[in-house]
Amino acid sequence: MKADELHFLVVEDDDFQRQTLADMLHSLGAKSVQQAGDGKQALATLQSEQSYPIDIVLCDLEMPEMDGMEYFRHLGSSHADISLVIISALDSALITSVEKMALAYGIRLLGAIEKPITRSRLQALIGQHESVCPKPTATSTTPSSFTFEEIMDGSRHDQFEAFFQPKLELSTGRITGAEVLARWIHPNHGVIAPYAFIDQLEQSGKINDLTFIMLEKAAAACRQLLQRGQTLSLSVNISLTSLTDTTLASRITQVIRNAGIDPRHIILEVTENAAMTDVAHVLENLARLRMYGFGLSIDDYGTGYSSMQQITRIAFSELKIDKAFVKGFAENGPLRIIVQSSIDMAHKLRIKCVAEGVETEQDWDALKSMGCDVAQGYFIAKPMDLASLCDFCERKVAL
């Protein structure tokens, strides 16, 4: 979406800097640019009936009366449909913290610009507005939540399917595998993402039902890919809470072997969504799975309850850096240090390092230069069905 199609609000207490930014927006083609000297004035502008509906707010952090952080709180609660660009001369670590805060308030954050502001950076962030702005959903009837009985009914009627997000080797661009992601193909509401059903299955103790559905579909997909000459590793998520059942490793192995698949083609991603309470049982399962040939990945590394401790006591074959650290890390000093340290640690432990949430060519190039092994994210491909994955593999081979 071009600047001349959008309405802007610049919130900055310094008159010269505010006018300079407004002029820069005009130079990019913007025809509607309103100004405010602090958060209070900005809120008044948004609430004014005479004002144009604002698409993008560009806001400083340090301001009198109402600073940027308080303004973001109000923006998130009453104007969550407006996109935000943070502008500041403060420390980059503090700006990163404020970005996380803004996202937590439900704001559509385009990014942050450190002063002095450059025209190219401003133009790039404005260009992201359309991608974060949801498309019209007037015909959508997807409910915000489903009952547990509705979810179980979907399971009984075989409505849960596996989607696949490709994983590429950074050094060669070759496809090496894919993560298996659950999707509910609802007869009335279409494709439903996991946030609508995973938590309820976890809380009810029924997450294993979905896990084994995904394992069976992963095994069938792996068999089909092998028949087409594609040797990929497919990654399936396993909840830490599921691993307290000491029969789990044998049951998983039986499902995979019954499908005629060698366990070495399957990676089990251990998600730390709960504290490890039954340590001995969990370790027994994971050791047995590793012994049988499965790969083990510590998923969402850095966000779990005790990631560092888990690495010392589980024979992981892969470390997966969480997307919260990867997204936009190329331009963020503290995040670059975290990502580089994670890559270095993985290699010293002689395990592969996977970065998820790779969304830009800049992040891809940075990961490649740091020696990361594998990348996954929207820059490569969004999750897709099996037929699309097969086509994706063939295209990658043809290149």
Residue 264 falls within a domain, yes or no? yes
What percent of the chain has pLDDT above 90? 60
Q: Is residue 142 part of a domain?
A: no
pLDDT at 307: 61
For the stretch 127-172, pLDDT in tens is 888 665 554 443 344 555 789 999 999 999 999 999 999 999 999 9
Residues 160 and 286 in one domain: yes
Domain count along the chain? 2
- Residue-averaged pLDDT of the chain: 88
Query: Are residues 244 and 389 both part of a single domain?
Result: yes
Give the pLDDT score at 377: 95
Torsion of CA 329, 331, 337, 340, to 10 degrees: 60
- Amino acid identity, position 209: D
In a domain, 139, yes or no: no
Asked if residue 65 lies in contact with residue 39, where contact means CB atoms within 8 angstroms, the answer is yes
Q: Is the pLDDT of residue 100 over 90?
A: no
Q: For residue 234, what is the enclosing H or E element?
A: strand 233-239
Q: Is residue 168 located within the same domain as residue 125?
A: no
Is 0.85 topped by the overall pTM? no
- Which amino acid is it at 47? Q
d(CA 178, CA 376): 8
Is residue 232 domain-shared with residue 354, that is, in the same domain?
yes
Mean pLDDT of 288-308: 80
Banded model confidence at residue 390, pLDDT cuts 50, 70, 90: very high
**CA–CA gap between residue 134 and residue 137 (Å, rounded):** 8
Confidence of residue 304 (pLDDT cuts 50, 70, 90): low
140 belongs to a structural domain: no
- Give the pLDDT confidence score for residue 27 in this predicted structure: 92
| Residues 56 and 179 placed together within one structural domain of the fold | no
Give mean pLDDT, residues 27-43.
92
3-state secondary structure of 228: coil
pLDDT in the model for residue 137:
40
The domain boundary residue, chosen from 78, 107, 132? 132
Residue 309's domain comprises: 148-398
Please identify, among 83, 98, 132, the residue that sits at the C-terminal boundary of a domain.
132
Alpha carbons within 13 angstroms on the beta-carbon side of residue 159 total 20
In the predicted model, is pLDDT for residue 347 greater than 90? yes
What does the pLDDT read at residue 386? 95
Does residue 141 lie within any of the structural domains? Answer: no
CATH number at residue 125: 3.40.50.2300
Distance CA 294, CA 123 (A): 46
Highest mean pLDDT among 209-223, 261-275, 316-330: 209-223
Name the pLDDT band for 210 (thresholds 50, 70, 90): very high
What is each CA distance from 98 to 37, 62, 105, 109, 127, in whole angstroms?
A: 20, 12, 11, 11, 22
- Length of the chain equals 399
Whether residues 161 and 111 fall in one domain = no
Amino acid at residue number 92: S
pLDDT band, very low/low/confident/very high, at 271 (cuts 50, 70, 90): confident
pLDDT tier for residue 276 given thresholds of 50, 70 and 90: low
Question: Strand, helix or coil at 174?
Answer: coil
Task: Identify whether residues 281 and 350 lie together within a single domain.
Answer: yes
Domain membership flag for residue 78? yes
- In this predicted structure, what is the pLDDT of residue 372? 98
Pair (21, 161) in one structural domain: no
Alpha carbon 154 to its chain's center: 25
- pLDDT for residue 65: 86
Of 91, 106, 132, the last residue of a domain is 132
pLDDT at 140: 41
- Do 123 and 160 share a domain, yes or no? no
Q: In this structure, which amino acid lies at residue 70? A: E
Percent of the chain with pLDDT over 70: 91
What is the per-residue DSSP string for 58-125?
EEES--SSS-HHHHHHHHHHH-TTSEEEEEE-S-HHHHHHHHHHHHHTT-EEEEEEESSP-HHHHHHH
Predicted pLDDT at 146? 87
What is the distance between the alpha carbons of residues 177 and 376, in angstroms, rounded to a whole number?
10
Report the alpha-carbon angle 363-369-373, nearest 5: 85
Distance CA 216, CA 221 (A): 9
* Span 194-217, average pLDDT: 91
Position with higher pLDDT, 256 vs 300: 256
- Under the banding of pLDDT at 50, 70 and 90, the label for residue 313 is confident
Answer yes or no: is pLDDT of 207 > 50.
Answer: yes
